[in-house]
Amino acid sequence: MVTLQLKQIDLLPGQKVVLREISWQQFEEIIKELGEHRSSRIAYSQGTLLIMTPLPEHEVVKEIISDLVKILLEELGLNCECFGSTTFKRQDLEQGIEPDESFYIQNYQQMIWKNRLDLMVDTPPDLAIEIEAKTDADFDNIRSDERFQSWLASDE
């Protein structure tokens, strides 16, 4: 068996790596090692971990859509708390994902000044945006797997 450290792996914009047979504990350790200030995004589902780095055009589209949502909410007179690409995790479901942008709208007051989330206690965001650019086509193959369906919006 070969052992690699994450610092040995370079992901350029638009690249991804899929790791299989990753335990929840390993997932937590990988998130910790990657740190909070990074360009990569993660998705974890029942032992499969995807680490990807978005392309610049992906980020441009994300910002435009995010700005449009903020303008719409302001025009509608709705307050919100933006949580960006926060890592949302549910150990009981063996799921973890970082949307491109997330908003608490209906539940924004509960989330003001909230620094840490526990989705066993805290509500999921009211709106989570995930941009899928044409250049992210390979990601579609993984996302189409029902394990990566959006569980954030589920009432279950």
Lowest mean pLDDT among 57-66, 122-131, 139-148: 139-148
pLDDT single digits (tens) 63-122: 999 999 999 999 999 999 998 888 899 999 999 988 899 999 998 999 998 888 888 888
> Is residue 51 within 8 Å of residue 42, measured between CB atoms?
yes
Binning pLDDT at 50, 70 and 90, where does residue 138 land?
Answer: very low
Averaged pLDDT of the chain: 82
- Higher-confidence residue of 6 and 67: namely 67
pLDDT confidence of residue 142: 43
Which one-letter DSSP state was computed for residue 139?
H
- Kindly tell me the sign of the dihedral angle through the C-alpha atoms of 107, 97, 155, 58: positive
- pTM for this entry: 0.74
Cα separations in angstroms, 139 against 66, 79, 82, 107, 112: 21, 33, 25, 31, 33
The domain spans of the chain are: 11-147
The model's confidence at residue 27, banded by pLDDT at 50, 70 and 90, is very high
Nearest to 18 by CA among 101, 113, 142: 142
- In this prediction, residue 133 carries a pLDDT of 60
pLDDT of 152 reads 38
In this model, does residue 32 exceed pLDDT 60? yes
What radius of gyration, in Å, describes the C-alpha atoms of the chain? 16
**SS3 label, residue 138:** helix
Residue 17 main-chain phi, psi, to 5 deg = -135, 135
**How much is the average pLDDT of 10-21?**
88
Confidence of residue 22 (pLDDT cuts 50, 70, 90): very high
Residue 42 has pLDDT above 60, yes or no: yes
- DSSP class per residue in 47-102: TEEEEE---HHHHHHHHHHHHHHHHHHHHTT---EE-TTPPEEEGGGTEEE--SEE
- Coil, helix or strand at residue 17: strand
